[in-house]
Amino acid sequence: MRSSLARAIGLGSAREGVGPWWAERISAVALIPLTLWFAASIIAHTGSDYTTFVAWLRTPLVATLMILLVAAVFHHTALGLQVVIEDYVHSGAKFAAVIAVRLGCLALAIAGFVATLRIAFSG
Partner 1 sequence: MSIHTAKRSRPLSPNVQIYRPQLTSVLSILNRITGVAVSGGAVALVIWLVTAAAGPQAYDVLQGAIASWIGQVVLFGTTFAFFLHLCGGIRHLVWDTVHGFELRSIYISGWVVVAASIVLTSAAWVISFLMKG
Q: Which string of DSSP letters, residue by residue, matches 31-70? A: HHHHHHHHHHHHHHTTT--HHHHHHHHHSHHHHHHHHHHH
Say whether residue 97 binds partner 1 (CB under 8 A). Answer: no
Q: Which of 17, 30, 41, 53 binds partner 1 (CB under 8 A)?
A: 53
Contacts 24+ apart (CB under 8 A), 52-56: 54/119
Query: Is 35 or 64 the residue whose CB approaches partner 1 more closely?
Result: 35
Residue 118 makes CB contacts below 8 A (sequence gap 6+) with: none
Q: Which of 23, 41, 65, 77 binds partner 1 (CB under 8 A)?
A: 77
Stretch that binds partner 1, among 3-11, 12-20, 30-38, 91-99 (CB under 8 A): 30-38
Say whether residue 118 binds partner 1 (CB under 8 A). Answer: yes
Q: Rounded to the nearest whole angstrom, what is the least distance from the CB of residue 1 to partner 1 in the complex?
A: 26
